[in-house]
Structure 1
Amino acid sequence: MPKFQSMSSMEFWCVEIKGGEPLKVEIGCDKILHLAQASLHALKKDHGDVSVSLFLKTGNQVVVLGNLCIGKQHQVFVDLVFEKEIELSHNWKDGSVHFCGYKFYKQLATTNKRPARSLCVKEMLEAGFENKRKKDYVLKAVPFFPNEIIFEILSWLPAEYLLKFKCVCKEWYYLIQDSNFIKVHFSRTPLLMVYDEEKRVGFGISGTIQETFIRVDHISGVILEKGDLSHKYRIRNPITRQILFLPDPCNGTVEVSIYRCQSTYEFKLVSIYRDEKRSSMQGFEIFTIDRDDEWRPLKLPSSQVCRMDLEMLRKTRQAIYYDDGSDDSDLYSDVYCLDVESECFFINVLPQGLFSDSNKVLALDWDGCLAYAEIVEEKLNVIILEDFRKHKWSQRKIIVPLTFFNEIQITEDNFLAPVIFISNKLYFLILEDKLFVYDIQTRQITERKPVSWEDKSLYTTRHSLVTFKGMQPEKIPQGVDLA
């Protein structure tokens, strides 16, 4: 009799069939049977290289599922589904064969309810690769997994695996390249803290001249780089190893950043340039990947914005922030915000009287928002610009207890600076060459890393499958490590 193991809406089933004893497998009116694989049972050395044929009968039709060989192939994947009773058998007189798979309710194929991912993904992937290699073993049938479930399972897998799985079949190839799949997959990839080389040797836009590309910025798994000889900008996806060279921004460009729009998922680049005729003036250009052919100038809100100090510039996932530079105070009251998605400027006024010493106030990225912070008596006082479009600041200062002062031994000469806050973790720099991560919930230091700004830098990222029109495979000069 078949053995069943309940898995809520799915059941694992396995039967042992002896030679000369065909077995009928009943399915039930409300279920679908998945036949995943067959394997030899009770192998013995004295059996030799015996070939075993597997048979399946449905209705009046008998088909050969495949062949097993004791000395060579003990297992075969078939990946078939059935709604009616089937009969399984084989021609091995001296042993038995195990058949196994899943039973699941028909409604699972028409709803978004997913089976246990860890129980399904192995069978699904192995069946896909095995069928690719052994086409003579495959019987044409309705795929076991509905498209919604395949989408769900694949979207949780590492990007490196998905690049290999594109060769399983045509359907997977197009699914993994689908823009909606790429968005969902990216949202489910873990956040990584990468300590990597700032420079990468490669070929310029001509494809023949070798030069060094320096990392300028990064977003959503792609890196913006600039060539040291040609001064050309390019975008590189380190996972797919594809590159896209960009049009040149205007002369006098001093800063280029890359952003991803939250609502449209478009990628934009912002260039800050200095007017050669009026050295004190600065302006902005913007470029939308896959839509623009050249950079577009942005209209500035006033002449004051052009006097910004690049040293005071701050960037988050959505905007560029900078102070007005209109007075000599250490902490400016007007904060200009360029919303990259709408390409509009907003002016926010920093509330006064919140900090005891404006000279010690630092700006940082707080979960994608601009924040100002000051360390006072083993506490971090923070005020956040929660919505720059609505000019909304946090109602009160956020106070974060810092319990590591005895451990780190903070002194007046040992400068401590918060850099970024992500997912309840604060990243601090000490003396500009040491970085540690502080969990504000557990109040523990979770990571420590040295930082050498000369050749390496630390940044957070997620692996992504994103690609752009015109991207080409990255050519690596001989002798250069791909890692």
Structure 2
Amino acid sequence: MKELWFASNEIPIDVLSRLPTKTLLGLKCVSKEWHHLISDRSFIRVQLKKTQPVSGFFFQQRFQWCNDDIESISYIPVKMEGARVQSTVLNFLPEGVVILAASNGLICCRSCFSSPHPVIYVCNPSNKELVCLQWPTPNKHDSLALAFDPFRDPVDVSTNFEVVRVHQTLTGMEDSWFSFDIYSSKTGTWRRSKEICQCDHNLFKNKGISIGWVLYWLTDGDQVLMFDLEEELSWLVRVPILATEFNSIPEMCIGESEGQLHYVLISEDGLQLWVLEDYLESKWALKYFIALNDMEEENSELVCNIQQRVASRMTIDMIPWMDPLAFKDGLLLIRVSAKIFLYYFETRKMEELCSLSVLGSNSMFSPIVLPYSMSLVPLGPAIG
């Protein structure tokens, strides 16, 4: 590659690396030299060390009563001043997909099952690069998680990641267990882990959270499924409060902040945020609590009568009035009735982002929602 015109001067690199990823993507057009710098893997490694805030959330509808895939995917920017929900962010992919996981700027998704030959994609929406992974035994009910740590395997050398497929096996005796298939970008191959996890519950909200090389999935049975990629060990972590302790049916989701697993719970008692301290003992610490009446008083121009409406949900088939969709770095994407809000735990304020009508007619029923932080990370061609 042509030698960079300011390679001997660290000041421009230090200054540019402090800028947000979105700004840097625009600066690529300034000149060939700036394009070379911002695309250089060594520069990207430096820029990744700066904290990358959540830039938005991917949102995909799901049907309530059938298993067909819905191809349309919306992107909801966090900063909505003058911005709109976008529907073409993933149009660079060669076919319609279902999004399933995100990690450090990369997205993992699979073909919609209208495709005759379903595959798995790992892509970077910011630079529109992708890797296509062959899927030996496609199953639309399997869940995928993506593990990508640009500091464990330096991104200035190559972009290495692993994809974990979780498969649930059911027996006639009503017993079930999860098995784990692992794809490594280093080898370009899949392999079956020897680890299995006996569990009588289903994965809930169908997305995996990666924290370093540990993956988590929420289940519908008061447990979180954990899989340690390095040790290839699985574990069931009990949630901090069982659903049976409430008079009405609570809603929950999991997410990551400051390198720790967090559990968000909404019930008639209020909004709670728990952090996992010890997975072996299922030890959680309550990090945040606010009563729904206080939440309403502090955001009275946006919501009303939420405590009564949340408490009125008494059966599973009732659509919850408030539904926590995704959590990342102190930000909670939450549906309240027919609108999508962002709740800032630090300031206790809500911001209205959009209405469900913008996201599609099936956006009410357990959508797939992924927090996303923009990244410059490049992806090479698929191996093998």
**TM-score category by the smaller chain?**
0.5 to 0.7
Output the CA distance in 2 between the equivalents of 1:355 and 1:437: 28
User: Do structure 1's residue 264 and structure 2's residue 152 form an aligned pair?
Assistant: yes
Deviation at 1:146, TM superposition (A): 5.0
Task: Report the residue type matching 1:212 in the other structure.
Answer: G
Q: Secondary structure at the residue paired with 1:300?
A: strand
After TM superposition, give the deviation of residue 271 of structure 1 in Å.
1.0
**Equivalent position of 1:163 in the other structure:** 28
Q: 1-side partners of 2:10 and 2:92: how far apart?
A: 40
SS in 2 for 1:261: coil
Percent identity between the two aligned chains: 17
Partner of 1:191: 54
Residue 236 of structure 1 contacts residue 243 of structure 1 at CA under 8 Å; is this kept in 2?
yes
Contact 1:222 1:237 in 2 (8 A): yes
Q: Secondary structure at the match of 1:161?
A: helix
Question: In structure 2, the residue corresponding to 1:317 is in which secondary structure?
Answer: strand
Structure 2, unmatched stretches of 5+, are 57-74, 77-85, 154-159, 314-319
Contact 1:156 1:185 in 2 (8 A): no
Higher relative contact order (CA 8 A, sep 6+): 2
Q: Distance in 1 between matches of 2:47 and 2:235?
A: 31
Residue among 169, 180, 184 paired with 1:284:
180
Please, which of 193, 197, 208 is the counterpart of residue 298 of structure 1?
193
Letter paired with 1:164 = C
Aligned pair 1:309/2:202, yes or no? yes
Structure 1 contact 419–429 (Cα < 8 Å) conserved: yes
Distance 1:295 1:150, change over 3 A: same
Deviation at 1:256, TM superposition (A): 2.0
Equivalent position of 1:422 in the other structure: 328
Tell me the CA shift for residue 357 of structure 1.
1.0
Alpha-carbon contact 1:162-1:176 (below 8 Å) kept: no
Distance change >3 Å, CA 166–CA 393, structure 1 → 2? farther
Residue type of the partner of 2:133? L
Shift of residue 234, structure 1, vs aligned partner: 1.8
Secondary structure of the residue aligned to 1:285 is strand
Q: Distance in 2 between matches of 1:352 and 1:144?
A: 56
Deviation digits for residues 178-215 of structure 1, max 9, x if unmatched? 256335346344421242438955675xxxxxx43443
Post-superposition CA distance 1:388-409 (Å, at most 9, x none): 3x54633457322443435333
1:225 is matched by which residue type in structure 2?
C
1:259/1:317 contact within 8 Å kept = yes
| Residue of structure 2 in register with 1:224 after alignment | 108
2:81 alignment partner in structure 1:
none
Shift of 1:466: 0.9
Q: How far apart, in 2, do the equivalents of 1:189 and 1:353 lie?
A: 34
Task: State the AA in 1 paired with 2:355.
Answer: P
Residue 148 (structure 1) aligned with residue 148 (structure 2):
no
Normalising by structure 1, we get a TM-score of: 0.53
Instruction: Give unpaired runs (5+ residues) of structure 1.
Output: 1-131, 133-142, 205-210, 324-329, 473-483
Give the corresponding residue for 1:399: 289
User: What TM-score, normalized by structure 2, do the two folds share?
Assistant: 0.65
1:135-181 Cα distance to aligned partner (Å, 9 max, x none): xxxxxxxx888543232112123231353367217xx7367422563
Does the aligned pair in 2 maintain the 1:189–1:462 contact within 8 Å? yes
Residues of 1 paired with 2:264 and 2:96: CA distance?
36
Q: 1:220 to 1:338 in 2, by over 3 A?
A: same
Superposition deviation, residue 421 in structure 1: 3.4
| Separation (CA, whole Å) in 1 of partners of 2:28 and 2:182 | 32
In the alignment, what sits opposite 2:374? 463
Give the drift of 1:264.
Answer: 1.1
* Paired residues for 1:334-345 under 5 Å: 335-340=224-229, 342-345=231-234
